């Protein structure tokens, strides 16, 4: 189909979002997109969800940390933000999705909010709650393996 003349095309905003989960989480783009649409549908209803759009563009996720570019319609940024805030799980893994900022183009969004080198991940043993435990350490954050899951900690807890 012939594409629309420029003044009739929809205007978009691109949200640069950060994704955080536990280190064993396995989140891929398809699951993220599906659960985001479910979250939007549940919060805003089908009409609201269709208005906001929420298409996932760039997506990267590794070792419990990732980022993505999410497209929303220009006047629907706040509703998009609300839907992203209600995304508490992706494929059964608990996630925290943070909107780092909004931009008018995918490129500006990636340059401003995404293209930062990911912090290196390190696995080591730490003293936590009177025992030596394995931890996935990234910067000052550490996810410590405890019975039946992980505990969120920082380097302050090992001093």
Partner 1 sequence: MYEAAHARPDGESTVARLALTAAEQGYEGLVVRNHGDAEAGYDPDAIGERYGIDVVDGVEVRAGDRSRLAGLIGSHRERRTVVCVHGGPHNRLVCEDERVDVLAHPMRDGDVNHVLVRAARENGVRVEFDFGRVLRTVGGERVQALRGLRKLRELVGKYEAPYVVSADATDHLQLRAPRELLAVGESIGFDREAVRAGLAEWGRIAERNRERRADSFIEPGVRRGRYEEVDR
Contacting positions for partner 1 (CB under 8 A) = 20-22, 38, 42-44, 78-79, 81-82, 84-86, 88, 94-96, 98-99, 140-141, 149-154, 156-157
**What is the torsional sign of CA 16, 7, 78, 39?**
negative
Of 104 and 152, which CB lies nearer to partner 1 in the complex structure? 152
CB 126 within 8 A of CB 142: yes
Q: What are phi and psi of 142, to 5 degrees?
A: -145, 135
CA proximity to 59, closest of 31, 21, 95, 39: 31
Of 96 and 107, which CB lies nearer to partner 1 in the complex structure? 96
Of 78 and 123, which CB lies nearer to partner 1 in the complex structure? 78
DSSP letters, 123-156, are EEEEEETTEEEEEEEETTEEEEEETTEEEEEEGG
Maximum distance among all Cα pairs of the chain, rounded to whole angstroms: 67
Of 20 and 67, which CB lies nearer to partner 1 in the complex structure? 20
Half-sphere CA count of 13, side-chain side, radius 13 A? 19
- Write down the least CB distance from residue 25 to partner 1, Å: 10
- Write down the least CB distance from residue 154 to partner 1, Å: 4
Of 59 and 65, which CB lies nearer to partner 1 in the complex structure? 65
- Write down the least CB distance from residue 146 to partner 1, Å: 9
- Write down the least CB distance from residue 150 to partner 1, Å: 7
- Write down the least CB distance from residue 26 to partner 1, Å: 15
């Amino acid at each position: 189909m012939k594409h629309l003349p420029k003044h009739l095309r929809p205007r978009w905003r691109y949200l640069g979002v950060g994704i955080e989960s536990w280190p064993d989480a396995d989140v891929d783009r398809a699951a993220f997109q599906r659960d985001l649409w479910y979250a939007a549908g549940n919060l805003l209803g089908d009409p609201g969800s269709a208005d906001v759009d929420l298409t996932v563009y760039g997506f990267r996720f590794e070792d419990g940390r990732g980022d993505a570019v999410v497209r929303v319609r220009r006047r629907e940024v706040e509703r998009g933000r609300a839907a992203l805030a209600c995304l508490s799980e992706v494929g059964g893994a608990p996630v925290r999705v943070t909107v780092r900022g909004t931009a008018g183009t995918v490129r500006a969004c990636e340059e401003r909010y995404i293209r930062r080198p990911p912090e290196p991940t390190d696995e080591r043993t730490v003293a936590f709650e009177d025992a030596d435990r394995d931890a996935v350490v990234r910067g000052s954050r550490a996810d410590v393996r405890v019975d039946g899951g992980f505990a969120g900690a920082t380097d302050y807890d090992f001093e």
